[in-house]
Chains A and B, each alone.
Chain A
Amino acid sequence: AQSVTQLDSHVSVSEGTPVLLRCNYSSSYSPSLFWYVQHPNKGLQLLLKYTSAATLVKGINGFEAEFKKSETSFHLTKPSAHMSDAAEYFCVVSERTGGFKTIFGAGTRLFVKA
């Protein structure tokens, strides 16, 4: 069965400190994994995607994520938080099967303190 778990509903960091948003997944097939960001009253914007190429994926705005198959994790990181990073982040898993199998995590709200 396919599932995705975002381990923290809220994360708070100070500006200039590292960000870590955690995501674990389960999948019966080779998954594609995504991170999206959502600012208030806006749609979701793709940050990065993993589709079985390099396990370390670089995205927009300085974010990156590492696919670890042995740990079934796809954590999102950024070396230095900026105030504009405050938003909701969603981890998403899709399976490469026929039909539609895409699951969204419940989201992690990131707060950035000045």
Chain B
Amino acid sequence: DGGITQSPKYLFRKEGQNVTLSCEQNLNHDAMYWYRQDPGQGLRLIYYSQIVNDFQKGDIAEGYSVSREKKESFPLTVTSAQKNPTAFYLCASSSRGSYQPQHFGDGTRLSIL
């Protein structure tokens, strides 16, 4: 079955710690995205990548970093500079072109210890 796998499902971060969220897709999609979802709000774009070895900042990139070394993988690191990291993080992928529908993983819920 093709799809997007996010891991872990739940993650806890200590103060001053960096954590990395995994996102893997086997849909052969060129584009991948990271979103942050807070209660009662829509999705906000953190980073996106339209091709391997290239990525762009979204609306709320501060305190986050990404890499795109392989087509299938787009990990997100939440750094200690992100002062309010508690949220639900969603990864998505699509064929290239902003008008293409996106396919989503089941998310990672990050909490602060």
Q: Which residues of A contact B (CB under 8 A)?
A: 9, 32, 34, 36, 41-46, 49, 51, 90, 94-97, 99-102, 104-107
Q: Which of B14-22, B68-76, B77-85, B102-110 contacts A (4 or more CB under 8 A)?
A: B102-110
Contacting pair B43 A104 (CB below 8 A): yes
Report which of A36, A41, A42, A99 forms a contact with B98, defined as CB distance below 8 A: A99
B101 at the interface (CB under 8 A from A): yes
What would 11 A/B residue contacts be, using CB atoms closer than 8 Å?
A32-B99, A41-B106, A43-B4, A44-B104, A46-B103, A49-B101, A51-B99, A90-B43, A96-B99, A102-B102, A107-B41
Q: Enumerate chain A residues within 8 angstroms of B66, measured Cβ to Cβ.
A: none
Residue of B nearest to A95 (CB): B98
CB of B103 to closest CB in A, whole Å: 8
Contacting pair B106 A102 (CB below 8 A): no
Contacting pair A94 B99 (CB below 8 A): yes
Contacting pair B98 A34 (CB below 8 A): no
Contacting pair A105 B106 (CB below 8 A): no
CB of B76 to closest CB in A, whole Å: 15
CB of A59 to closest CB in B, whole Å: 11
Give the docked Cα–Cα distance between A9 and B45 (Å): 21
Contacting pair B42 A43 (CB below 8 A): no
Residue of A nearest to B101 (CB): A46
Contacting pair B42 A107 (CB below 8 A): yes
Contacting pair B98 A100 (CB below 8 A): yes
Q: Enumerate chain B residues within 8 angstroms of A101, measured Cβ to Cβ.
A: 98
Residue of B nearest to A32 (CB): B99
Give the docked Cα–Cα distance between A41 and B89 (Å): 10
Q: Enumerate chain A residues within 8 angstroms of B48, measured Cβ to Cβ.
A: 100
Residue of B nearest to A45 (CB): B104
Max count, chain B CB within 10 A of own CB: residue among A42, A95, A99, A100? A100
Contacting pair A106 B41 (CB below 8 A): yes
A34 with B101, Cβ < 8 A, contacts A104-B43, A106-B42 known: yes
CB of A87 to closest CB in B, whole Å: 14
Q: Enumerate chain A residues within 8 angstroms of B97, measured Cβ to Cβ.
A: 96
CB of B46 to closest CB in A, whole Å: 12
Q: Enumerate chain B residues within 8 angstroms of A51, measured Cβ to Cβ.
A: 99
